[in-house]
């Protein structure tokens, strides 16, 4: 059985929990208190961070790498596109999300000096994505994919991070609600995440 070491409020761990629940497979989530991190995390991940996936002898860290492994081990429903060109594009977009959006997570969580600049950088990038959802249901088309998994934890935390989107981005918020209503997404939420949105 796979074991996922997961932070109860951590957006990166949230991504891996979504994939595990979407696949409906057998796994165990081990809650890690980031304010009192057990020493074994540093032993299994040289960067001393969560999430970490342990599958027998295999130990993986980095949420997107973990998620691609789970997707390949349990291909139903497949979350990465089957076609190599589309898959390469999906990986490129995953990288863009890390660079433009998720690199801001530490600053959003610390909420210190300069936070407004960070909030508006994230807001601007999300506004740019909004037109996609006037034409299609999900990021890559009409099927839920790894791209939706990757961005969902940020969309869930917008209010929590003090980011308000303008009316012009309402298609993006409708898209977010489409993800939030999925059973896999609901089941993946921890009690601390459930209370992040009203
Ligand atoms: N790029 C990594 C980021 C993981 C990460 O930054 N995890 C943070 C939680 S947000 C962590 O474990 N930090 C260690 C700590 O707070 O002590 C991923 O995608 O998995």
Domain locations along the chain: 2-77+189-194, 84-182
Q: In what order do the strands lie in the sheet with 52-55?
A: 27-32, 2-7, 52-55, 58-61
Please identify, by atom number, the ligand 1 atom nearest to the C-alpha of residue 106: 10
Q: Return the biggest CA–CA distance within the chain.
A: 49
Q: What is the dihedral of CA 97, 7, 14, 87, to 10 degrees?
A: 50
- From first to last of its 198 residues, the chain has per-residue pLDDT tens of 999 999 999 999 999 999 999 999 899 999 999 999 999 999 999 999 999 999 999 999 999 999 999 999 999 999 999 999 999 999 999 999 999 999 999 999 999 999 999 999 999 999 999 999 999 999 999 999 999 999 999 999 999 999 999 999 999 999 999 999 999 999 999 999 999 998
Res 198: pLDDT? 84
Class of domain 84-182: mainly alpha
DSSP string, 31-58: EE-GGG--THHHHH-TT--S-EEEETTE
Distances (CA, A) of 127 to 8, 98, 147, 186: 28, 17, 17, 25
Distances (CA, A) of 44 to 33, 49, 53, 72: 16, 9, 9, 22
Q: Which CATH number fits domain 2-77+189-194: 3.40.718.10, 3.30.70.20, 3.40.30.10, 3.40.1210.10?
A: 3.40.30.10
Angle at 41 (CA atoms; ends 39, 45), nearest 5 degrees: 135
Q: Which of 12, 44, 45, 190 to mutate to test the pocket of ligand 1 (most atoms within 8 A of CB)?
A: 12
Q: Which of 8, 13, 50 to mutate to test the pocket of ligand 1 (most atoms within 8 A of CB)?
A: 50
């Amino acid at each position: 059985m796979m074991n996922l070491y997961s932070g109860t409020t951590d957006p990166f761990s949230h991504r891996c929990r979504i994939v595990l629940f979407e696949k409906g497979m057998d796994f165990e989530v081990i809650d890690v208190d980031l304010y009192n991190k057990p020493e074994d995390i540093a032993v299994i991940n040289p960067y001393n961070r969560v999430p970490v996936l342990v599958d027998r002898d295999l130990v993986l860290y980095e949420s997107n790498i973990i998620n691609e492994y789970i997707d390949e081990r349990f291909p139903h429903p497949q979350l990465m596109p089957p076609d190599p060109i589309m898959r390469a594009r999906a990986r490129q977009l995953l990288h863009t999300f890390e660079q433009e959006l998720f690199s801001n997570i530490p600053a959003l969580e610390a909420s210190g000096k300069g936070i407004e600049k960070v909030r508006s950088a994230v807001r601007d990038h999300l506004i740019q994505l909004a037109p996609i959802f006037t034409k299609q249901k999900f990021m890559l088309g009409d099927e839920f994919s790894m791209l939706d998994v990757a961005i969902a934890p940020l969309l869930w935390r917008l209010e929590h991070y003090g980011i308000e989107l303008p009316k012009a981005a309402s298609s993006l918020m409708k898209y977010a609600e489409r993800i939030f209503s999925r059973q896999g997404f609901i089941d993946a939420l921890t009690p601390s995440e459930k209370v992040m949105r009203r």
